[in-house]
Structure 1
């Protein structure tokens, strides 16, 4: 998976930091130059966007870009699945 995966997510930086360990699993996470490195194969960049306003509600928006270095397409796809599960919001 050589192309980056870009997601627009309704979360703040604080929420991202709280949920990131679930996506990283056992891999170490380091932050530097505004980029999070998960293990040696994944870089995650955050780009805050203007919030969305729906009447009285304000929803934070963050563009999240996942870049993969090394590993296989299957490794990248597995990380994206784990990332999506870790950041999935429930409702009801």
Structure 2
């Protein structure tokens, strides 16, 4: 989890699109959203977050193949404190454990 989340950033996320779409509603919490192909618009207060993703080639480490998505985050009209709160919850929900 980051200590600060800017208004625009991109991530390389180690997940398949199916896993991403399964976890996404939980990560968005009670925020209303509109899901489209490769994108979702999340209403946060008076503003919104536009998430867009595309499938990347898998990361290969020896015999391990990890599915990946390139995800862009663009907040518009969302105050900084609301952005930070939203992203902390989002990251905790999307966090994957190992072991």
Q: Normalization by structure 1: what TM-score?
A: 0.87
Question: Which of 86, 93, 99 is the matching residue for 1:86?
Answer: 93
Question: Which of 17, 20, 23 is the matching residue for 2:24?
Answer: 20
Question: Which of 52, 68, 81 is the matching residue for 2:75?
Answer: 68
- Identify the residue that residue 38 of structure 1 maps to in structure 2: 42
Q: Which region of structure 1 is more displaced relative to structure 2, 7-16 or 38-47? A: 38-47
Mark the CA change 1:71 to 1:3 in structure 2 (over 3 Å): closer, same or farther.
closer
- List gaps (5 residues or longer) in structure 1: none
- Structure 1 residue 54 displacement after superposition: 1.1
Mark the CA change 1:60 to 1:26 in structure 2 (over 3 Å): closer, same or farther.
same
Question: Secondary structure of the residue that 1:83 maps to in structure 2?
Answer: helix
- Identify the residue that residue 15 of structure 2 maps to in structure 1: 11
- List gaps (5 residues or longer) in structure 2: none
* Cα separation, 2, equivalents of 1:32 and 1:88: 23
State the superposition RMSD in angstroms.
1.7
In the TM superposition, structure 1's runs of 4+ consecutive aligned residues that sit over 6 Å from their partners are none
* Cα separation, 2, equivalents of 1:60 and 1:31: 21
Residue deviations 1:4-37, cap 9 Å, x none? 1211110011111111112111112212353201
